Structures are given as C-alpha cells and as structure tokens.
Structure 1
Amino acid sequence: MNTLFELYQHLGWTLSLLVIGVFLMAGVVKGVIGLGLPTVAMGLLGMAMLPTQAAALLIIPATVTNVWQLAAGGQLQALIRRLWPMLVLIFLGTGLGTLWLGMGSDQSMSRVLGGVLALYALSGLFLPPLHVAPRHEVWLGPLCGLITGVVTSATGLFVIPAVPYLQALGLDRNQLVQALGLSFTVSTLALAAGLYWRGVLGGGEIGASVLALAPALLGMMLGQWLRQRISAVLFKRVFFVGMGLLGLHLLLG
C-alpha cells in the first residue's frame, strides 16, 4: 500500500491536493460535455509539473472514464467497423511519435502543450460546423488518426484533430459520445504504452494514477447531475475560453 502513496509523498501535500482538485474538476467537465478530462488535467497540471508526470497520473482516470463512456449507447460494433482505420493509425501514430518525438522532460514541452490547448480552444469557439462526406472517410480518418497519435505522444492530449473530425461525421448525440469514448480509450492505451516504453510509467506512477481515479469518478457523476440543470452549450463555451487562456499562459510563460 505504501507504493500507492509514494509519488504523492514525493510531490508534497500541497501539490497532491492540487492533483485531487484538478481531477475532480476534470471529471465534472467530462460529465457535463462528454469530453475534456485529459485536456483539463494536462493543462492545469502542466503548470505545476512536467508533462510526463501529468500524463502518467492521467492514465487510469482517463481509461476508466472513457471505457465507461464508450460502453453506453449500444452501437459499439458499428462504430468500430466505421472508425477502425482511424483507431489503428492513432495507435501507430502514437508509437511513431514516441520514437520520433517523445514527451519532453523539460519545460519547453509545456509551451507545446499550451499551443495545442490554444488551438483546440480556437477550434471549439470559432470553427464552423464541418461535414465529412462518406467518400472522404477512407483517407481522412487515417490521416486524422495519425496526426492525433503524434500529438498525443508529444503532449498527452488526444483531441486534435480527432474531436473535430468525429464531430464532422454527422453522428447523432449518442453515437458521437460513444465514438469519442472509443477514440479516447485507444489514445489513452497508446499513450500508456509509450510512457511505459520510455520508462516513466512504473508501479509508483500507476498507483498514484489509481488514487486520482476517485476524484475523477466523483467529478464525472457530479457533472452528469449538473448536465440536467445547466446549459451545456454555455458550459462548453466557458470551457473553451478557459482552455484558451490556460493555453496562452503555458505558451507564453
């Protein structure tokens, strides 16, 4: 049991409380809008620790909440048949990115993380609704998967360009939520494999990530409760503004 607390003891109580608060907040965001847990976690934790440390803490909460998300909806087999080329390239792109780029162990990677956060916020706030014709999915899906994998390997974020692409497929709300969960699950497992290969995902990090699961699940349940009582559109707009400001802070800091 001591190994579960090893990383938190190393971080100190103040930073440990920050981790708990961040995952609680990230879970709330995911519960309300169906995405955002890794974005919030990586963005906020990136101000206090190296991206590799933040990504290691992310693995278990992201995997469990994403599997929870993809399990709902009853259309998993159909989505896998449609999206498998993109999913395969996400995994391969993450592997290639790990070998080629890797997630840096210095503060320069925080600026890269900030740039991706800012780009994601701008796309969420200002990108008009897109539509991908079925005939283009055969090449655009794998391309988006490859780029998403490379970005994942460098920053721990797996939203660009996967999220805009999935939103452009014309899926209904339940299908989109399940497709996002499927994409995020593959990305998280690929990221975990890359971190393990680089030697930054050992027993201590996994144990610390397990402890981060509780606030993430609590936040997600709270977010699902809030979703019935607040405007999800307004909440999403505030989320993107916040991520944009956070991205600029990391980019210029």
Structure 2
Amino acid sequence: MATDSPTLDAGTFLDNLLALHYREVLMTFATAVVVLGAVALYPGSGRVTAGFSGDVTTTTLAFVFAVAVVAGAVKGAVGFGYALIATPVLSSVIDPVVAVVVLAIPPWMINVFQVGETNTGLTYVRREWPLVVLAAVGTVVGVTFLSRYQAGPLVPMLIALLILAYVAFQVVQNFVVVEEAHHPVALGGVGLATGFLLGAANLGPLLPAYLHTFERDRERYVGGVSMVFAVVFTIKIVQTAAVGLLTPYLLWLGCAISVVTLVGLFLGTYLRRVGVDERWFNRAVVALLLVIGLNILRNTVPAVVGGL
C-alpha cells in the first residue's frame, strides 16, 4: 500500500499484512493489543466505574469517550495533542495522577500505529538518536517524579508561555521553516524535557513545536513525533506498572478508552491523507498549540498566583 494513499485498500492491506510488511504489521499490532486488553482485562459490569470519583453517570462516560474520539481525530490529523486534550477531561472524573497513568495507554497505541502508518523506522532512530535516547531518560525521571510527588503548576505555566511565544513567532514570520537547521544538542534537550513532562504530567507540546520549525513534510513530521512518543509511552507504561501505579483495572480502562479512540484516529488519519494543503496543516498545528497554551495557562495561573 502506498504510504501517500488517502484511501484504504483492504485487500492490499491484508496481502501486505500476511507478507509481514513493516507498516501493516505495526498498525495491526497497535490496534490488536488494546482490543485484546479491553476484552481480556474486563473487570465485570459491577466494576466498570470503580476507578472514578463519586457517582459517574452514563452521560459522563459518554462524554469521556466522545472527547477520546475528538482527541484521536486531532492526533491522527496533525500528529499530536491527544493527551493534552484528554487529560483535563479524565482528571475531572478521576484522580489526576491516575488520569495521567491511564492516559499512557491510548497515546501508546496511537503513536505505535502512526510509526507504522508513516513508515518511520530505524533510519529515523539512527539519524535522531540523541532525541530518542534523551527522551527515554527524561521519561524515567518524569515517572519517578510522578510516583513521589504531585506535579506543581509552575513548570506547566512556563511551558505554556514558551508555546505561546512560539505561536506568535510563527504568525509574525508567516509560518517560517528553517530547513535542516536543528542541532543535535538542542534537539536532545527538547527530547529530555519532553520525556520528563510526558512522564510526569502528560504534557508533550515542546517536541511538536520544535520539530514544526524544522520539518514541514507532514509524514516525516508525524512519523518523527510518533516515534519519540512511542518510546516515551512504552517506558512510561512499563515503569508505572513496576512501581504499582498501573493496576490491572487501570490498564483495562486505558485499553477501553483506546478502542473508542480508534474511531477518531481513523478519521483524523483519513483527513490528513486526502490531500489537505500545506497551509491548512501548518495553521492547524499552530492553532492547536495556541489552544493548548491558553488552556494550560487557564489551569495553572490561578494556582501559581494563589501560592505566591
């Protein structure tokens, strides 16, 4: 199947899957893992809402799942934003730390899927190894921090200000791109910070903003972000399980949300592949970063000011 085809040829996909082509195998693997997890770990009808706070109605669950679909569509279309959209919603109905743990599962599924879908592989890792390695290190530190402390509001607020400064720069410069200008040290630093923030608080907009300056090919951009995030969320899942934060029930909940998310992921992937022009894509990325930055400020500024 051609990687730039906007439509799904089911017969060709199946032929490639049976022939163990990298792209189709990875996409199928990501989907199958969460579907099997949702079925095998089902806790029973009496415990479906056991991890939620207070009385959770069917309407509340429907709203959570609807947000998961929307977040999946955004991630499929522009390559990032799932956790940043879904985390505040889930944090309103369960403990925020638990929400951060649960929402490691859907992004893992989406990013592994997109690594396959964009055909991003070892060539990217060999080229950008400082980014991948330091993101992994940052994740370990971030999850350790999460297991011991509550993430405070100051760091997310500073990240939001940085994102908004980037948005202003892009708008003023008419979406400038600096071809092949990124430095391994700078990229590694962004990877380290991104890994820590994703591990500790599910905040990962630094890497998309940085890569957006240097990489405007949509498939390479989405593939690069997804490769790093797939590594980060794999480590996060393993580490949260090892320290006891990720219980079988929370793993099931994450898989169940992932299954619903697939609807949005397929829709967003289709929208990205139907040939949406580059101007729309760039504006969508910057607009999403603007919304994310403003939302983080809305949630953190009162807490920071109140603590002074």
With the shorter chain as reference, the TM-score category is 0.7 to 0.9
Where does residue 49 of structure 2 map in the other structure? 8
| Higher helix content, 1 or 2 | 1
The alpha-carbon distance between structure 1 residues 44 and 88, as it changes in their structure 2 partners (threshold 3 A), is same
Where does residue 31 of structure 2 map in the other structure? none
Distance in 1, matches of 2:117 and 2:136, equals 23
Q: TM-score, with normalisation over the residues of structure 1?
A: 0.82
The number of residues matched between the two structures is 248
Superposed displacement of residue 204, structure 1? 0.5
- 1:189 is aligned to 2:239: no
Q: 2:140 aligns with which of 95, 102, 120?
A: 95
The alpha-carbon distance between structure 1 residues 104 and 125, as it changes in their structure 2 partners (threshold 3 A), is farther
- 1:140 is aligned to 2:189: no
The alpha-carbon distance between structure 1 residues 246 and 126, as it changes in their structure 2 partners (threshold 3 A), is same
What is the letter of the counterpart of residue 256 of structure 2? Answer: L
Distance in 2, matches of 1:115 and 1:61, equals 25
Higher Rg of the two aligned structures: 2
Distance in 2, matches of 1:70 and 1:122, equals 28
Q: TM-score, with normalisation over the residues of structure 2?
A: 0.69
Contact 1:66–1:184 under 8 Å retained in 2: yes
Superposed displacement of residue 66, structure 1? 0.6
Distance in 2, matches of 1:37 and 1:131, equals 26
Map 1:61-72; keep pairs closer than 5 Å. Answer: 61-72=106-117
Per-residue deviation, residues 51-78 of structure 1 (Å, max 9, x unmatched)? 3222222122111111111113334221
Map 1:228-247; keep pairs closer than 5 Å. Answer: 228=274, 231-247=280-296
Superposed displacement of residue 246, structure 1? 2.2
Map 1:53-202; keep pairs closer than 5 Å. Answer: 53-99=98-144, 101-102=145-146, 109=151, 111=153, 115=157, 118-119=160-161, 121-123=163-165, 125-128=167-170, 129=176, 131=178, 136-137=183-184, 139-160=185-206, 162-170=207-215, 172-202=217-247
Which of structures 1 and 2 has the larger relative contact order (alpha carbons within 8 angstroms, sep 6+)?
1
The alpha-carbon distance between structure 1 residues 119 and 3, as it changes in their structure 2 partners (threshold 3 A), is farther
The alpha-carbon distance between structure 1 residues 237 and 224, as it changes in their structure 2 partners (threshold 3 A), is same
Per-residue deviation, residues 225-245 of structure 1 (Å, max 9, x unmatched)? 444497444544543343234
Structure 2, unpaired ranges of 5+: 1-40, 171-175, 304-308
Q: 1:249 aligns with which of 282, 287, 298?
A: 298
Q: Cα RMSD between the aligned structures?
A: 3.0
The alpha-carbon distance between structure 1 residues 158 and 15, as it changes in their structure 2 partners (threshold 3 A), is same
The alpha-carbon distance between structure 1 residues 2 and 32, as it changes in their structure 2 partners (threshold 3 A), is closer
Where does residue 248 of structure 2 map in the other structure? 203
SS in 2 for 1:199: coil
Where does residue 26 of structure 2 map in the other structure? none
Distance in 1, matches of 2:98 and 2:240, equals 10
Structure 1, unpaired ranges of 5+: none
